[in-house]
Amino acid sequence: MQPPLQRLCFILKVCGATQNQNRLREIVGASTNWSDHQQAMAERGSLSSMLAKSQGDLPPKGMKDSYLEVHLPLGSEPQLREKYLTFHNTVRFGRILEDLDSLAVLISYSHTFNTALKRSPLSIVTALVDKIDMRHHVIYPDCDVKFTGHVTWVGKTSIEAKMHMSQYRDGAYAPVLDATFVMVARDPENKRAAFVNPLRPDGPEEEKLFQEGEANKLRRVELSTASLLKVAPTDEERKIVHSLFLNTLDTKTVSFRSRVLPPNSVWMEDAKLKGLEICHPQERNIFNRIFGGFLMRKAYELGWANACAFGGCRPRLVAVDDILFQKPVEIGSLLLLSSQVCYTEGNYIQVRVHSEVFDPLTRQHKTTNVFHYTFVSDRDVPNIIPKTYGESMLYLDGKRHFNQTVGH
């Protein structure tokens, strides 16, 4: 897609995703200081009168209206690199996730921008990372990065934003990844849904992108309907679970309770890694909840560490799939992260990271996010073997995500 004549193009400086958030605070009118955030959020409540009563009251927008191009000068500004560097002189992918999340929000605000209003009455938050496909496994730490993206589909209150990341090398920009995020619009206090501008595709290329967005929505509905948390496994999946069970029976005792681990295998219960984060104000977003990009970075790093420990070597990311943001994470929360290798095939490792907040006073746990990552190792990895029915469902769910990602 060709960019519009007047496009918003800016440079991410040392603060990376934080620079994006500062720009968003200007649009929203949120506080930059934790000490006066409550007053700032109370003031936003007065913006409710600016909300549209229906989607028909809002002017249609084109895809070019939301087009953004963002540069991350890792090559031309060496002082920026340290924040993005790993010990092995590669780029921290968790930082890239933070930048993508901020960019998706900014794209959505560009689509809904009203020149007559000084501030946006909308609270736009990440609902789902539909998919991130890696087109190149190596991100070089000393080459400039370019992000581009725009809105490709809208519902009444939701927005799909597609983004592309490329890196300047050997005299040209080469593709690194493609990402699809789903955002939702809420009222100024982030309590109820709000309408967004309809999208009017211009030409066959944009119409194709819009239809792909419709197909993505239908696919998500079908996957949710077929969730193993709602319906029983298919006949084929039940056979897989039973075969796994039979392969672990102890032939000497012929007992349902006596299980033996097959060669080159690991029990699923032994392929976990857990972490804890105390959610400080420093990691807040413009609405004074924990920044979604921070959650994605922490979950990714835990998932990567688990895949690394399981496979015995540094894994490469293949795809991020179906990250669902179920509940916001409040400042001061205790965030519990649990990573589980749930499926393996050849040299592929499928990892699921579950995050929940824990209230030490009420002792209650609430799920906030579920993350799915597909990694590939330099060598074949052990087979992961479930022992309980619950683990078998995790195994099947991991297999579904793997098949959808790798395309089997």
Q: What share of the chain is helix, strand, coil (3-state, %, to 5)?
A: 35, 30, 35
Determine, yes or no, domain membership for 347.
yes
Q: Which of 378, 384, 407 is nearest to 396 (CA)?
A: 384
Q: Are residues 164 and 69 in the same domain?
A: yes
Query: Which pLDDT score is estimated for 8?
Result: 38
Q: Are residues 188 and 291 in the same domain?
A: no
Query: Which pLDDT score is estimated for 87?
Result: 84
Q: Is the dihedral of CA 32, 38, 42, 45 positive or negative?
A: positive
Please tell me the distance from the alpha carbon of residue 348 to that of residue 353, in angstroms, as a whole number: 16
Q: Are residues 188 and 66 in the same domain?
A: yes
Q: Are residues 162 and 291 in the same domain?
A: no
Q: Are residues 194 and 343 in the same domain?
A: no
Query: Which pLDDT score is estimated for 42?
Result: 67
Given a cut of 50, is residue 385 above it in pLDDT? yes
Query: Which pLDDT score is estimated for 343?
Result: 97
Percent with pLDDT over 90 in the chain: 60
Left (φ > 0), alpha (ψ -120 to 50) or beta: where does 132 sit?
Answer: beta
Query: Which pLDDT score is estimated for 1?
Result: 44
Maximum distance among all Cα pairs of the chain, rounded to whole angstroms: 79
Give how many domains the chain has, as a whole number.
Answer: 2
Percent with pLDDT over 70 in the chain: 88
Q: Are residues 183 and 272 in the same domain?
A: no
Domain boundary among 200, 218, 249: 200
Is pLDDT larger for residue 301 or for residue 329? 301
Determine, yes or no, domain membership for 9.
no
Specify the CATH number for the domain of residue 133.
Answer: 3.10.129.10
> Model confidence over 137-157: pLDDT tens digits?
889 999 999 999 999 999 999
> Model confidence over 99-140: pLDDT tens digits?
999 999 999 999 998 888 877 889 898 999 999 999 998 899
Determine, yes or no, domain membership for 184.
yes
Query: Which pLDDT score is estimated for 49?
Result: 84
Q: Are residues 47 and 135 in the same domain?
A: yes
Query: Which pLDDT score is estimated for 112?
Result: 94
Q: Are residues 32 and 175 in the same domain?
A: yes
Domain boundary among 181, 200, 219: 200
Determine, yes or no, domain membership for 297.
yes
Look over the chain and give the mean of its residue pLDDT values, rounded to a whole number: 87
Determine, yes or no, domain membership for 233.
no
Domain region containing 314: 261-407
Q: Are residues 325 and 403 in the same domain?
A: yes
Q: Are residues 138 and 278 in the same domain?
A: no
Q: Which of 355, 301, 364 is nearest to 324 (CA)?
A: 355
User: Cβ distance 132 to 178 under 8 Å?
Assistant: yes
Query: Which pLDDT score is estimated for 10?
Result: 40
Query: Which pLDDT score is estimated for 7?
Result: 35
Determine, yes or no, domain membership for 147.
yes
Determine, yes or no, domain membership for 4.
no
Mean pLDDT of 309-314: 93
Q: What Å distances lie between residue 92 and 3, 97, 354, CA to CA?
A: 29, 9, 21
> Model confidence over 179-236: pLDDT tens digits?
999 999 998 877 889 999 999 999 999 999 999 999 999 988 888 888 888 999 999 9
Determine, yes or no, domain membership for 234.
no
Which two structure tokens, joined as six digits, stand for 407? 């395309």
The set of residues, in sequence order, having a beta carbon less than 8 Å from that of 24 and lying 6+ positions away, is: 30, 102, 105, 106, 109, 286
Mean pLDDT of 380-407: 93
Q: Are residues 185 and 322 in the same domain?
A: no
Query: Which pLDDT score is estimated for 34?
Result: 56
Mean pLDDT of 350-371: 90
Domain boundary among 200, 221, 236: 200
Query: Which pLDDT score is estimated for 80?
Result: 86
Q: Are residues 20 and 169 in the same domain?
A: yes
Which two structure tokens, joined as six digits, stand for 212? 């792909």
Given a cut of 50, is residue 16 above it in pLDDT? no
Is pLDDT larger for residue 33 or for residue 357? 357
